[in-house]
Chain A
């Protein structure tokens, strides 16, 4: 086990090493870095402006107020932003495979997963994170939440498990490209598309869709279930309250699946060469 731990430590160190290198590269063009970061802030903020416009016409969306929807939006966008920062460029796997540059990663003494995650690490994604965090904090201030200790603890739990769920989804989406070696459209549909779905109260969707978002692509655990607990809302579908705490289980299972798919993907690549 000790070797497993040291391997994990070594992988983390390598990740930080590569990420730092990419940060330094991006800092050589400081003006462009600032522009891109600010740009990310505003472009991703457009989503939220859309929601705000919606609420200038209605008072509630499927029973949820503007500040509550802002809370849901902020939570989901924050988790997506963090996951995107950590391994956003893993989706370029297909391109690397097609260009043959993936082979160069395979001859380095470092896990290819770590190399793919850190590839072209982009600090400009902090723009999206700042925007999401801003909305999240604003909603917390605007809402009148009864902050018990367990509700406070639920906030980092939400961010942690939600981020891990997105990390796993990104990984699965990328690993699929080991077989298709094609564009990242399919994976984006699940990650970015999924996060858009989860920005709204799931009560606007049909019951069957919510079941799918719970048990198939468990995006409901990113922000919906923990938010129900924090906002002290009964589940509109009457699903058991235990789901509100089950985010860690969903995150763990999805991570396991991601690890298996990634591993099988690399094996597949090594046995097909394409």
Chain B
């Protein structure tokens, strides 16, 4: 938990941000079928008034519900998409103008789909990337050795990518994105679909890479644990607007997120009425109680134990969707939490 909360290094204040986003907006023209032949077009703004900077060596979490504008932002930062308005700069370059030059300085991992060649074994893929990115031989060998060890790629090097499991493929993707020593890495949901062990390994690797190589990391995720364990800073986007930019602790305080206490009573009872808590649901002997995330659970449990015989207890932390929802209550979220 604590690893991610270390403050920025002193020199952070002096350097120019490696990622600079000023007043960026991105509109999409959406065409809909209206009748047999007719189509109507409407402008949808995916991202608006986006302003932020990321210092070199920072590891920033970028979160928000589906369709909030995360991927659009990353696509603009890689040069895939041109912004409709505003200014962008990454590593001193304007992404959509100097896309191929910038490509040497950035690494990208799209969690949902691989950027590797489906039919090639990882070893050949890495070799091809070495040539495409013109990585010096010594750097390539050193990097490959490091990544092979840290990501445990040794047994996978000769397997074609299509035969790898999701977790294995993700490790391959990550190594591929870092082989050319990029200054900035964008990770779009790198832990999606991974099991607990794979997630932990991946996070360790990212932490180590960030610390030892000074790689700037911007990662989008739906997994609050990713953020808690990796990022000292989190940006929340909703409906195309940046609604929060700061520490993780602040995120909890800012919104009135709530935790849930799940109680198994010895005997079924009527809905509990305890100070500072709200009973959400009753199902036989089991009841769900909601209480503020920043309040201690201890007095609540004490009060409960005083009045009822308790068989078991568990606490559920607020999930990321709930935190975001609570921060940005003024607008309806486009999608319900999954």
Contact = CB atoms under 8 A, between A and B. Distances in A.
B73 to A, nearest CB: 12
Given A21-B117, A107-B108, A270 B132 contact: no
A103 interface: yes
Contact of A17 (B28, B96, B117, B131): B131
Given A100-B113, A104-B110, A273-B28, A21 B120 contact: yes
Q: Contact size class for A?
A: 20 to 34
Interface in B158-201: none
Contacts of B128: 17-18, 21
Interface string B110-141: 10111101011000100010011100000000
Nearest to B177: A107
A14 B132 contact: yes
Contacts of A100: 110, 112-113
B96 A107 contact: no
Contacts of A109: 100-101, 103-104, 132-133
Contacts of A108: 100, 103, 132
Task: Provide the main secondary structure of the chain A interface.
Answer: helix
A17 B106 CA distance: 22
Interface in A234-248: none
A110 B100 contact: yes
Contacts of B96: 270
B145 interface: no
Contact of A107 (B28, B82, B115, B119): B115
Contacts of A21: 117, 120, 124, 128
13 contacts: A17-B131, A17-B132, A104-B114, A106-B99, A108-B103, A110-B100, A111-B100, A267-B82, A270-B80, A271-B82, A272-B28, A272-B29, A273-B75
Interface of B: 28-29, 72, 75, 78-82, 96, 99-101, 103-104, 106, 108, 110, 112-115, 117, 119-120, 124, 128, 131-133
Given A104-B114, A107-B80, 11 more contacts: A17-B128, A24-B124, A100-B112, A100-B113, A104-B115, A106-B80, A106-B99, A108-B132, A270-B81, A270-B82, A273-B75
